[in-house]
Amino acid sequence: MRIAGLAPGTPYAYDGEVAHSGTELLIDKLPEALTVYCPMHV
């Protein structure tokens, strides 16, 4: 899934780490893996 229209520098969490996005993110799913995304209030 591609998410576009993000403000540059929008924080996101991945694998226990926090990073900052560009203007879009690409999210994929590994077979039999569960990924949980949670909004982060700043």
**Helices and strands in the chain: count of H runs, count of E runs:** 0, 4
Number of domains in the chain: 1
Range of the domain at 16: 1-42
User: Residue 5: what pLDDT?
Assistant: 92
User: Residue 7: what pLDDT?
Assistant: 93
4 CB neighbour count, 10 Å cutoff: 9
CA 34 to chain centre: 14
- Predicted confidence (pLDDT) per residue in 1-42, tens digit: 888 999 999 988 877 788 898 899 888 777 887 767 767 666
What is the Cα–Cα distance from 41 to 6, expressed in whole angstroms? Answer: 15
